[in-house]
Structure 1
Amino acid sequence: MLQLKPLPTQAIHSVGALLVIILAVIAYLFDEQIAWLFIYDRQLINSGEYWRLLTGHFFHSNGNHLLLNISAVVLIWALHGQYYVHKTYFFTVLICALVCSAGIHWWSLDITQYVGLSGVLHGLFIWGALMDIKHKDKTGYLLLAAVIGKVIHEQIYGASADLEQLIAANVATDAHLYGAIGGLLAFVLYILKASKR
């Protein structure tokens, strides 16, 4: 029988997700003043502004985009927050963000600008599903299959036109793929580090 997990409300499990939300909200509130300095912009990254590989993920195309991503942060925290500790969460977000941005930069040359947490969120979802599996929680297999199916579907058929209309931007489905790969890499690195303790 399926049982709901208690929400991981302890500070050690919540601070990371809360900080990601706060950074995204600040980026949204001050978008007009600071976005030009921080969003992912291929040309400016090529000229040496490498911080954009990380910071661009915290900006969004509009309020709907922000709310969708904040909701996803909360949902993923509710599903897998029991595995979060500060260092692990920030490390996973960092790896997912950098792998996502690197993938866009090297292999999705049609994307010249990118904003949003969705690539990172796909990575966090993969990481959490794999942690479920590691901890013998069978729902991890279902969640992993669902996100892999979603990524494959998007690679074949593209994103929903309704979603693109809602966020007033093209959905960078490649970012979801690269973010998912980042989540897998973060999990492998986590396991390797844990095995050395």
Structure 2
Amino acid sequence: MLHTHRAFPTTRVCGNICLIATIFTVLLPLLQFFHNALLYQRYLIEAGEVWRIWTGSLVHTNYWHLTMNLTGFWILALIQQQPPSKWAFLGQIVFIATGVGAGLWFMSTEVIWYAGFSGVLYGLFLLAGIHLLALREWVMAAIILAGICGKTLWDWLLGGETLSADLIEAPVIYAAHVYGMASALLLGISTLLRTCRKP
């Protein structure tokens, strides 16, 4: 039987990405117990606690914040069409988290502290939209890309003071979303270039 990209990857994607989503669903609530040791805090990073550049993306301001990000992660897992291996997907998370932390450090020096997976999550959604473009899934790609870019623009226009900010009890650091999306764009461009080279 002939299989196309539409016929095959659904269960494989769920197997890879849903596994990672399950691990994060268990891991992130546990990391809340180490919130103070993992939070992105500029002064402590300057003092040598450089791991906070990455771990700030793994802790949250409260459990509403955590629940919203895990819900978004599961939505991503269920709509993702590109079948990366679990290691490739973890690599994407690490790369985007690095971009978020480095962006805050070098370009948003006014941000003293940051917590949340949303910067990584926005990047992963953007990357999913780019992968859908590569697969010529135009409608779904347009929905994801317009949604994630529109939400980022909305947060910027409101200065981070949105309903989400009320729930998480902190302003939305939309710059982290932008850095996550910019990091994902670098990964996505390489995907599109590889696709364009295929006959």
- TM-score, normalised with respect to structure 1: 0.84
Number of residue pairs matched by the alignment: 187
Aligned equivalent of 1:140: 141
The verdict on how the C-alpha distance between 1:65 and 1:117 changes in structure 2, with shifts beyond 3 A counting, is same
- C-alpha separation in 2, matches of 1:150 and 1:91: 25
Q: CA deviation at 1:11?
A: 2.7
1:14–1:81 Cα contact (<8 Å) kept: no
The verdict on how the C-alpha distance between 1:133 and 1:112 changes in structure 2, with shifts beyond 3 A counting, is same
Cα RMSD over matched residues? 2.3
Q: Which moved more, 1:139-148 or 1:149-158?
A: 149-158
- C-alpha separation in 2, matches of 1:11 and 1:126: 21
% identical aligned pairs:
26
Secondary structure, counterpart of 2:136 in structure 1:
coil
The Cα offsets for residues 9-62 of structure 1, whole Å up to 9 and x where unpaired, read as 74333222222222211112x1xxx22221111112122222111111111111
Aligned equivalent of 1:22: 26
Aligned equivalent of 1:174: 175
Q: Give the alignment of 1:1-197 within 5 angstroms.
A: 10-28=14-32, 30=33, 34-80=34-80, 82-138=82-138, 139-190=140-191
The verdict on how the C-alpha distance between 1:188 and 1:20 changes in structure 2, with shifts beyond 3 A counting, is farther
Q: CA deviation at 1:116?
A: 0.5
Letter in 1 for 2:70: I
- TM-score, normalised with respect to structure 2: 0.83
Structure 2 residue ranges without an equivalent (≥5): 1-8
The Cα offsets for residues 108-162 of structure 1, whole Å up to 9 and x where unpaired, read as 1221111100100000000000011111111112311221222223223323432
Letter in 2 for 1:185: L
The verdict on how the C-alpha distance between 1:44 and 1:192 changes in structure 2, with shifts beyond 3 A counting, is farther
- C-alpha separation in 1, matches of 2:10 and 2:158: 36
2:82–2:128 Cα contact (<8 Å) kept: no
Letter in 2 for 1:27: L
